[in-house]
């Protein structure tokens, strides 16, 4: 059955380790699927009332699903943004091939990638806040891990003041 194979292919996201954490020397790191859960959880908890809840949660869940096929790239991989976009776009098309809502999902992913709506901007901020919070968790678990590179990177891309405070307090070791 085509749909079953499509679903199994997407579930491979559970096995894709977040490359940035591995590149920093950590061993037991979260999967991309765990990261997507973190983004979704933050979106649910922090979502402004005026934004489209369904769109935000769908985008949060789906934003990295292409990595189930292509893996998780970081700047250290020296792949251009356009090449990464093309690889991920092709993976998204493959992973939605037998899904009824294919066009909706592809358009949702494109909206996220292009960062063109209040919802996509919010999900991008949740994505960065997730990274800052996860870095803090790793710094608690791994005493020799310095989270500042990840937290500083997140802070550069978060405009929302509440999220900046949450990310910044992690940098100062507050809970």
5-39 per-position pLDDT tens digit: 999 999 999 999 999 999 999 999 999 999 999 99
Domain membership of residue 153 as a residue range: 2-171
* 174 has a pLDDT exceeding 80: no
Q: Does 135 or 174 have the greater pLDDT score?
A: 135
- Residue 175: the pLDDT is 43
Give how far Cα 70 sits from Cα of 54, 60, 66, 117, Å: 26, 18, 6, 26
**Which CATH number does the domain housing residue 70 bear?**
1.10.3210.10
Mapped onto helix, strand or coil, the DSSP state of residue 17 is: strand
* Whether pLDDT at 64 is above 90: yes
Between the CA of residue 87 and those of 3, 20, 67, 112, 150, what are the distances in Å?
Answer: 22, 19, 9, 16, 25
Above 70 in pLDDT, residue 119? yes
pTM of the model: 0.92
How far, in Å, CA of 168 to CA of 52, rounded? Answer: 27
What domain count does the chain have? Answer: 1
5: left (phi over 0), alpha (psi -120 to 50) or beta: alpha
How large is the average pLDDT for residues 47-73?
A: 97
| pLDDT in the model for residue 170 | 53
């Amino acid at each position: 059955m085509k749909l079953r194979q499509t679903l199994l292919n997407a579930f491979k996201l559970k096995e894709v380790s977040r490359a940035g954490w591995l590149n920093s020397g950590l061993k037991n790191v979260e999967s991309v699927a765990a990261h997507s859960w973190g983004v979704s959880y933050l979106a649910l908890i922090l979502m402004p009332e005026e934004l489209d809840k369904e769109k935000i949660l769908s985008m949060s869940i789906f934003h990295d699903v292409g990595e189930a096929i292509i893996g998780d790239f970081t700047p250290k991989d020296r792949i251009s943004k356009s090449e990464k976009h093309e690889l991920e776009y092709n993976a998204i098309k493959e992973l939605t091939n037998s899904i009824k809502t294919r066009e909706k999902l592809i358009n949702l992913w494109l909206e996220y990638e292009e960062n063109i709506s209040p919802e996509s901007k919010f999900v991008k901020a949740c994505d960065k806040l997730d990274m800052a919070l996860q870095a803090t968790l790793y710094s608690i678990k791994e005493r020799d891990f310095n989270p500042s590179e990840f937290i500083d990177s997140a802070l550069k891309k978060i405009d929302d003041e509440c999220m900046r405070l949450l990310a910044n307090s992690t940098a100062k070791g507050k809970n």
